[in-house]
């Protein structure tokens, strides 16, 4: 067991998500005590002084923390903070298998929010690898943190993909799909077919087409010409040699089996509808397309308190046959969450 401990943990959240994170901590009955807070950055003290946090304490699947780190303390300059991370790496790697070199993730306070320092860091991360997180909150305020990479964690600094919306994208939803792909490590096979409810104007469609994935897009609203160039007038009965989009221009509730075919393997929804409606439509589509194995649903919340319905949402996904579920607020989300369900039998 790793013997790295600390009386403090820090969490990186979206601006405004510290409150719902504190609520989650209460709901789990962890007794962590909020300590220091800055927009998007919050520290917690362990429930009792004689039981400090360990690396295992970071394994709670919070919705509202994009990153949790053991807090190694606050330094007045970068070099001091780096030394804290180096020491933590030595004590963690002496007891953890196969961790390799420690990576460094850096974030900096930028006017009103915390941002990644480097936009283009795409260093590969392996499971079990130690990662130091350095958070620069001010000219003399450098916080140092440490965690181990795990399959369910984002590989990116602070859980932020640092993605830039392509100019041609019809909407910001391109970012939601691509951020989810990075955060969850999603994989699509070329030629796969996704059904997306609430697909207009087509940001998600563009991202999927760019990945070689075809889309049955359901939405009464118009698609942008950028994606219409890949549109087919009817559902292809045989595989084509290029990714395509079939626009099923109606509300989700009117979609029938003949609109979908039998080859759909992913369900996605980005409809402006309640979580209950999105899940109900997911269950209906699965009945019509039994080959669906995975689902990625953007849940639209009117209030973060709705996240308390998580057990109900997970239960309905289990009843649909999904075996793994994740609920996560991504860096690109405002009043939204990504609900990922995979491994459907």
Ligand X SMILES: C[S@@+](CC[C@H](N)C(=O)[O-])C[C@H]1O[C@@H](n2cnc3c(N)ncnc32)[C@H](O)[C@@H]1O
Contacting residues toward ligand X, per CB under 6 A: 170-171, 173, 197-204, 218-221, 251-252, 270-273
Closest to ligand X by CB, 155 or 203:
203
Going by their DSSP bridges, the two strands 193-197 and 214-218 should be labelled as parallel
Enumerate residues 6+ apart whose C-beta is below 8 A from 92. 2, 4, 55, 99, 130, 146, 148
Shortest reach from residue 200's CB to ligand X, in Å: 4
Distance CA 158, CA 13 (A): 8
Pick from 208, 220, 215: nearest CA to 231: 215
Closest to ligand X by CB, 200 or 296:
200
How crowded is residue 124: how many other Cβ atoms within 10 Å of its Cβ?
7
Where does the chain show beta strands of DSSP type E?
Answer: 5-6, 8-12, 33-38, 41-45, 53-54, 67-75, 103-110, 113-116, 130-138, 141-148, 193-197, 214-218, 245-248, 264-269, 294-300, 324-328, 336-342
Shortest reach from residue 281's CB to ligand X, in Å: 8
Closest to ligand X by CB, 193 or 271:
271
Shortest reach from residue 14's CB to ligand X, in Å: 18
Distance CA 307, CA 14 (A): 15
Shortest reach from residue 271's CB to ligand X, in Å: 4
Closest to ligand X by CB, 123 or 221:
221
Task: Give the largest CA-CA distance in the chain.
Answer: 67
Distance CA 13, CA 66 (A): 6
Shortest reach from residue 315's CB to ligand X, in Å: 23
Closest to ligand X by CB, 197 or 332:
197
Closest to ligand X by CB, 176 or 344:
176
Shortest reach from residue 272's CB to ligand X, in Å: 4
Q: Please state the φ and ψ torsions of residue 84, each to the nearest 5 degrees.
A: -60, -40
Shortest reach from residue 188's CB to ligand X, in Å: 16
Distance CA 51, CA 97 (A): 24
Distance of CA 4 to the CA centre of its chain: 27
Using only C-alpha atoms, the chain has a radius of gyration, in whole angstroms, of 21
Instruction: Fill in the DSSP letter of residue 3.
Output: -
Closest to ligand X by CB, 81 or 181:
181
Between vectors from CA 21 to CA 19 and to CA 25, what angle results, nearest 5°?
A: 115
Distance CA 239, CA 2 (A): 51
Shortest reach from residue 207's CB to ligand X, in Å: 8
Closest to ligand X by CB, 119 or 167:
167
Closest to ligand X by CB, 248 or 331:
248
Shortest reach from residue 229's CB to ligand X, in Å: 16
């Amino acid at each position: 067991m790793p013997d790295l401990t600390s009386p403090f943990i820090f969490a990186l959240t979206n601006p405004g998500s510290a409150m719902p994170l504190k609520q989650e901590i209460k709901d789990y009955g962890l007794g962590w005590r909020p300590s220091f807070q800055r927009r998007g950055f919050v520290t917690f003290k362990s429930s009792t002084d004689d039981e400090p946090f360990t690396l295992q304490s970071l394994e709670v699947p919070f919705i509202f923390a994009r990153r949790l780190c053991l807090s190694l303390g606050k330094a007045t300059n970068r070099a001091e903070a780096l030394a804290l991370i180096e020491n933590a790496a030595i004590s963690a790697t002496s007891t953890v298998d196969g961790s390799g070199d420690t990576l460094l993730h850096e974030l900096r306070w930028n006017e009103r929010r915390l941002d990644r320092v480097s936009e283009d860091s795409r260093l590969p991360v392996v499971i079990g690898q130690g990662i130091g997180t350095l958070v620069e909150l001010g000219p003399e305020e450098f916080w140092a943190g440490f965690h181990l990479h795990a399959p369910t964690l984002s590989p990116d600094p602070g859980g932020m993909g640092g993605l830039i919306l392509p100019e041609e994208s019809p909407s910001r939803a391109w970012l939601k799909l691509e951020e989810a792909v990075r955060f969850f490590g999603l994989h699509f096979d070329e030629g796969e077919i996704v059904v997306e409810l609430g697909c207009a104007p087509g940001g998600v469609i563009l991202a999927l087409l760019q990945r070689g994935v075809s889309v049955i897009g359901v939405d009464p609203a118009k698609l942008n010409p950028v994606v219409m160039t890949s549109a087919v007038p009817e559902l292809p009965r045989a595989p084509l040699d290029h990714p395509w989009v079939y626009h099923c221009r109606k509300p989700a509730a009117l979609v029938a089996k003949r609109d979908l075919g039998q080859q759909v393997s992913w369900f996605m929804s980005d409809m402006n509808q309640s979580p209950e409606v999105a899940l109900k439509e997911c269950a209906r589509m699965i009945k019509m397309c039994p080959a669906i194995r995975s689902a990625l649903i953007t849940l639209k919340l009117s209030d973060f308190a709705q996240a308390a319905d998580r057990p109900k949402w997970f239960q309905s996904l289990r009843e649909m046959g999904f075996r793994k579920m994740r609920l996560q607020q991504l860096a690109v989300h405002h009043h939204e969450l990504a609900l990922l369900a995979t491994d459907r039998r």
